[in-house]
């Protein structure tokens, strides 16, 4: 069967339906325009996700109630729970949020989706919003062509709102016209059978349209036109609530473990809430009647009662589930294990994260730290250290002993198998990130860090041959010089590995000290090579090797330290102005080191 046969058949059925019923065509067009408006609105808000929304999310999730509030408010403003979910999953994947906070945001987002029903039921049905849609579309489209990112984004938001209003108008007009030809209310089903049937229909409609907002608008407009009964509309809204989790599950198929766990939490919440709403439907109906009396909602205003019902059962779900979030997190982390990460596979970055530049850059930074750990292992083996042992060393003196055995390393093979594939994936991902402003500057830092890592590997390859040959040289002085270079670079790797896992508050100063030590160890600049030649302790050929290899060691040190400055601290914690004010340059650090050495000798 051809690949698109199903699609062509569906389009053919739709075309025949539209030809036979102009009213149904208007309803379908209203749904299509509404969905397009949601896409435009979401795209407009994505323009601003590189700044304010991300910063608010990060600052508003240190407490559960803040996570719930953020999810509800953000979804109310954007009218897109999918956008809030994408940002939350991206922050989870990048390690900027914990699963506990992410679940709080998703629970709050479910409550935020109920505001759309209130807006449509209270405003969209009773007001000719098409009159407001036209100027919004004009202003929005004009602003969308502006080159300024902020203006363009705001224009897309206005365009999206305009299309939303227009879609609601078309659906309302279509159902009113449809009433004259066919009365759908005659297909109403009462009792438990109707409750289950219409719940299933609500789920199917949401899966097809991929939007619970669109399903609710369709339900409200159909209810206002009298095509469905109030009881069946309640069941449809429950089904829409459950059906939206299918969309989340489909989106999580290609996501990492963080996305899959969050999608599972979303599914558990919505299914549990739906079951509670179905089981206690009588209680919720009575609660709606009581609430309607308090709020002054007319007894026959079923659209506003539907919005109230939708809010109440989602609120009940939050009250029911919040006490068990800790248990839910533990179960998800226990039962949903991360897939084994291949050597060439990234651990943090994913395609869906590209829509949230801040989180994507942070994920790239963490991937580069992983790449550094692989480079660490490669250089450690070039120096004849066991990587695991080198990580555990706590004193530089322990690294000065000669290796028990010399084992050559195929640097090219290790590079091709462990370093190059991951570096290529990170580089490819970074080239496709849509970043501007200060995010673009951060991206430049990441690219520079990746270049420094690869340069250090190339220098390690050049160093390898002479290091192997001269660690067992019969010339005792030459052997000492290579052991000293080995110990210095080994200690640098040890300190950088420790800082990569737990960056110190004084990271800039510590890296400055390491750079000053690297300059002190350069036997050309410190004059030590000249004395070796004058005292005839090495031959001219050996002196040439020493000079070249000392330069390799210094370049490796400089590249690794430069890399560490760029990626060892999350971007949000970097304050370059303060670092420049309190930081010391290498000359000052060398002076401090020499004074400390004199005090120690005295």
Domain ranges, ordered by start, for the chain: 23-335, 356-601
Q: Give the residue-averaged pLDDT of 495-519.
A: 88
CB 244 within 8 Å of CB 82: no
In the structure, what pLDDT confidence band is assigned to residue 579 with cuts at 50, 70 and 90? Answer: very low
pLDDT, tens digit, for every residue of 516-548? 988 888 887 777 788 887 888 888 888 888 889
The yes-or-no verdict on residue 578 having pLDDT over 70 is no
Rounded to an integer, what distance in angstroms lies between the CA atom of residue 540 and that of residue 542?
5
CB 40 within 8 A of CB 156: yes
**How many Cβ atoms are within 10 Å of 69's Cβ, its own excluded?**
18
- What is the average pLDDT across 218-224? 85
Structure tokens of 113? 């989706």
> For residue 32, which of 220, 238, 170 has the smallest C-alpha distance?
170
* 292 vs 298: CA distance, rounded Å: 7
Q: Mean pLDDT throughout 573-601?
A: 44
Q: Determine the average pLDDT of the residues in 77-106.
A: 78
Residue labelled with tokens 């030649």: 533
Position 378 scores a pLDDT of 95
pLDDT at 147: 77
CA–CA dist 342, 340 (Å, integer): 6
**Alpha-carbon span 133 to 37, nearest angstrom:** 11
pLDDT in tens, 395-426: 888 898 888 888 889 999 999 999 999 999 99
Residue 378 to residue 419: CA distance in whole angstroms: 9
CATH topology of domain 356-601: Methane Monooxygenase Hydroxylase; Chain G, domain 1 (1.20.58)
Q: Would the pLDDT of 380 be above 90?
A: yes
The model's pLDDT over 137-151, given as tens digits with 9 standing for 90+, comes to 888 888 888 877 778
In this prediction, residue 492 carries a pLDDT of 95
- For the record, the structure tokens of 532 come out as 């070796």
Mean pLDDT value of segment 558-570: 91
Per cent of the chain over pLDDT 90 is: 26
Structure confidence at residue 57 as a pLDDT band (50, 70, 90): low
> Taking residues 195-199, what's their average pLDDT?
88
Joined together, the tokens standing for residue 289 give 């009647």
The runs of H, that is alpha helices, within 253-356 are 257-279, 281-295, 302-321, 325-335
Number of C-beta neighbours around residue 347 at 10 A: 16
Q: Could you tell me which of 35, 53, 291 has the C-alpha nearest to residue 170?
A: 35
Residue 175 confidence (pLDDT) = 61
Q: Residue 77 in 3-state DSSP?
A: helix
Cα end-to-end span (Å), the chain: 88
Using the predicted structure, report yes or no on whether residue 55 has a pLDDT greater than 70.
Answer: no
The values of phi and psi at residue 211, to 5°, are -160, 115
Q: Distance between CA atoms of 144 and 138, rounded to whole angstroms?
A: 10
DSSP string, 6-31: HHHHHHHHHHHHHHH-HHHHHHHHHH
Helix, strand or coil, per DSSP, at residue 407: coil
Judge contact between 224 and 303, C-beta under 8 A. yes
| Overall pTM > 0.85 | no
Q: Say whether pLDDT at 583 is over 50.
A: no
| Mean pLDDT (whole number) for 306-325 | 92
Question: Tens digits of per-residue pLDDT, 477-489?
Answer: 888 889 999 999 9
| Per-residue model confidence (pLDDT) at position 308 | 92
Count the neighbouring beta carbons within 10 Å of the beta carbon of residue 213: 25
The predicted structure's pLDDT at residue 89: 76
Tell which residue, 205, 118, 127, 134, has the closest CA to residue 172.
127
Instruction: List, for residues 342-353, the tens digit of each pLDDT value.
Output: 656 788 887 777
Q: What are phi and psi of 319, to 5 degrees?
A: -60, -35
> What value does the mean pLDDT take over residues 253-261?
71
């Amino acid at each position: 069967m051809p690949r698109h046969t199903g699609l062509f058949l569906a389009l053919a059925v739709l075309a025949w339906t539209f030809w036979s019923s102009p009213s149904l065509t208007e309803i379908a067009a209203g749904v299509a325009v509404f969905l397009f408006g949601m896409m435009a609105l979401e795209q407009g808000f994505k323009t601003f996700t590189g700044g304010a929304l991300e910063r608010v999310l990060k600052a508003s999730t240190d407490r559960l109630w803040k996570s719930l509030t953020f999810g509800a408010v953000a979804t109310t403003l954007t009218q897109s729970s999918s956008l809030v979910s994408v940002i939350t999953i991206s922050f989870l994947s990048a390690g900027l949020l914990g699963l506990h906070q992410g679940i709080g945001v998703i629970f709050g987002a479910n409550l935020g989706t109920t505001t759309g029903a209130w807006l449509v039921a209270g405003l969209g049905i009773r007001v000719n919003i098409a009159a407001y849609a036209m100027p919004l579309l004009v202003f929005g489209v004009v602003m969308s062509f502006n080159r300024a990112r902020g203006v363009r984004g705001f224009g897309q938001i206005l365009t999206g709102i305009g299309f939303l209003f227009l879609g609601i108008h078309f659906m309302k007009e279509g159902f009113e016209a449809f009433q004259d030809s066919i009365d759908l209310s005659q297909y109403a089903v009462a009792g438990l059978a109707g409750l289950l049937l219409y719940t299933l229909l609500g789920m199917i409609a949401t899966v097809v349209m991929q939007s619970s907002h669109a399903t609710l608008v369709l339900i409200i407009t159909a209810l206002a036109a009298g095509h469905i009964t109030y009881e069946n509309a309640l069941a449809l809204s429950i089904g829409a609530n459950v059906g939206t989790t299918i969309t989340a599950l489909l989106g999580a198929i290609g996501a990492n473990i963080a996305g899959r766990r969050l999608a599972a939490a979303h599914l558990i919440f919505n299914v549990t809430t739906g079951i509670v709403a179905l089981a206690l439907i009588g209680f919720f109906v009575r609660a709606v009647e009581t609430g309607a009396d308090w709020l002054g909602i007319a007894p026959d205003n079923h659209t506003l009662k539907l919005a109230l019902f939708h809010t109440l059962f989602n609120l009940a779900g939050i009250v029911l589930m919040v006490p068990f979030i800790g248990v839910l997190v533990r179960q998800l982390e226990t039962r949903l294990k991360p897939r084994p990460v291949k050597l060439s596979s990234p651990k943090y970055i994913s395609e869906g994260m590209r829509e949230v530049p801040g989180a994507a850059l942070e994920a790239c930074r963490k991937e580069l730290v992983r790449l550094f750990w692989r480079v660490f292992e490669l250089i450690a083996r070039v120096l004849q250290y066991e990587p695991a042992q080198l990580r555990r060393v706590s004193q530089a003196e322990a690294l000065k002993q000669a290796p028990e055995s010399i084992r050559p390393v195929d640097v090219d093979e290790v590079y091709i198998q462990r370093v190059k594939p991951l570096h290529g994936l990170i580089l490819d991902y970074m080239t496709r990130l849509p970043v501007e402003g200060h995010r673009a500057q951060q991206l430049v830092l990441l690219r520079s860090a990746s270049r420094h890592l690869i340069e250090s590997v190339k220098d390690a390859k050049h160093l390898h041959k002479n290091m192997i040959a001269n660690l067992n040289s019969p010339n005792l002085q030459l052997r000492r010089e290579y052991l000293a270079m080995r110990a210095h670079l080994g200690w640098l790797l040890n300190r950088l590995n420790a800082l990569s896992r737990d960056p110190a508050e004084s990271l800039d100063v510590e890296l400055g000290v390491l750079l000053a030590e690297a300059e002190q160890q350069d036997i050309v600049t410190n004059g030590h090579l000249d004395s070796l030649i004058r005292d005839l302790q090495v031959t001219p050929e050996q002196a040439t090797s020493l000079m070249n290899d000392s330069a390799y060691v210094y370049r490796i040190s400089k590249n690794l330290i430069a890399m560490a400055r760029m990626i060892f601290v999350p971007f949000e914690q970097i304050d370059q102005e303060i670092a420049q004010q309190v930081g010391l340059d290498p000359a000052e650090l060398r002076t401090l080191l020499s004074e400390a050495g004199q005090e120690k000798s005295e």
